Amino acid sequence: MSQLEIKTVVSKKDVETFIKLPWAIYKDYPQWVPPLLMDRRKLIDREKNPFYKHSVAEFFLARRNGAVVGRIGAIVNHNHNKEHKENVGFFGFFESIDDQAVADELFARARGWLKGQKVDSVRGPANPSVNDEYGLLVEGFDMPPVVLMTYNPPYYVALIEKAGFTKVKDLYAYQVAEKTVMSERLERISAQVKEREGLTFRTFNMEDFKGEVDRIKGLYNRAWMYNWGAVPMTDEEFDYLARDLKPVIVPELVIIAEYRGEPIGFALSLPDLNIALKHNKRGWFLPGLYSLMRYRKKIHSARILVLGVVRERLNTGAANVLFHETAVRGIRLGYTTGEAGWVLEDNVRMIRAAEFLNGKRYKTYRIYESKI
């Protein structure tokens, strides 16, 4: 008789087992892109990752007859609950073989731990927060994930729903292409909006990296504060992320919108590093660096990671022009395709802005929730 046991991640060996499980789960999924192991360690490092200075988490491994068959994280994001006046916990880092019993036991352990933290519901996937990789892929399994987006087997949808979770919100990803993104009408409208509103758009100044990061930090927290699920990043979290992104930032793809000289929004796009990292099969750092160098000329796509405008200036049309400016500059740099995502399913302004560029919705991610 097979024996299934769920144990807490405690030792360094447990941590390595936890972060390396996806290599077994995804061995038959060519779309999956192996992450850098060092990045996975940083995400769950409760000593070094500043996220855990305001939040708590526990991580679990499932074994059957000694073989690792699943994992999950249980998270209480105190800043989320404070911001949204909720009492919710989160699950994240979920991986499992195609076995409902394994998934059920993992969720039962996560719910049990979260119940001990006195929250009344569980939501996810969040890895570990809305400011990290977020959501479960439910449509678009035939395409590989772009940089900092998730991928999962199709059977995860059934595992999670049969474990008692229901949809809370969908997140959309839009694909844009050089051949269809530009038009005379788009150019004309963008020029008119700039002139009418007194808008200017400038490139991120790498020589003033700290100052630019501080400006974007304020814009980010102001522009996203009214979005569903958004949680302001602490100064330490934002600086931590900025240090990680600095080596891969393309300054021309970080665009700051100004209204008569005042910064009111920004767009941050990254080259799709996954195009290179898919060749780094084991997730090691130096081979990953080699892959980035060897295949950098084949990175023909980019992802609009974040794009937003402060609420009091939304009616200027700056968001639409930020999309346009990103497309113009991306094409100039040789990017032939791009992804805008994710966008909340009910964020009408951003959906219209993506459609303004003839964006095609090609992937859907889902956030689930259940009562404890």
What is the per-residue pLDDT across 71-87, written as a single tens digit (0 to 9) for each?
A: 999 999 999 999 999 99
Segment 272-297 shows an average pLDDT of 94
Name the residue with tokens 């400011």: 131
Q: Assign 29 a pLDDT band (cuts: 50, 70, 90).
A: very high
Q: Check if the beta carbon of residue 336 is closer than 8 Å to that of residue 300.
A: yes
Q: What does the mean pLDDT of the chain come to?
A: 95
Domain spans, the chain:
4-170, 175-364
Identify which of 120-134, 175-189, 215-229, 307-321 has the greatest average pLDDT. 120-134
Domains 4-170 and 175-364 equal at CATH topology level:
yes
DSSP-H helix ranges across 140-283? 155-162, 178-181, 184-197, 209-224, 235-245, 274-277
pLDDT at 349: 86
Taking residues 9-30, report their average pLDDT.
98
pLDDT per residue as tens digits for the range 233-275: 999 999 999 999 999 999 999 999 999 889 999 999 999 999 9
pLDDT at position 357: 85
Residue 45's pLDDT is what?
A: 97
| Pairwise CA distance, residues 273 & 301, whole Å | 9
Question: What are the tokens at 61?
Answer: 């491994």
| pLDDT given for residue 330 in this prediction | 96
For the domain made up of 4-170, the CATH class stated in words is alpha beta
What are the tens digits of pLDDT across the range 187-198?
Answer: 898 999 899 999
Give pairs for 47-55: CB < 8 Å, separation 24+: 49/240, 50/234, 50/236, 50/237, 50/240, 51/128, 51/129, 51/131, 51/132, 51/237, 53/234, 53/236, 54/78, 54/79, 54/234, 55/79, 55/128, 55/129
**Does residue 224 come out as left (phi exceeding 0), alpha (psi in the -120 to 50 range) or beta?**
alpha
The confidence band for 310, taking pLDDT boundaries of 50, 70 and 90, is: very high
Query: pLDDT class for 292, splitting at 50, 70, 90?
Result: very high
Structure tokens at 102: 């394994």
For residues 284-302, give the mean pLDDT.
93
Report residue 65's pLDDT band, with 50, 70 and 90 as the boundaries: very high
Q: Give the CATH class of 175-364.
A: alpha beta
What is the structure's pLDDT at 1? Answer: 46
Q: Which residues pair with 202 in a beta bridge?
A: 256
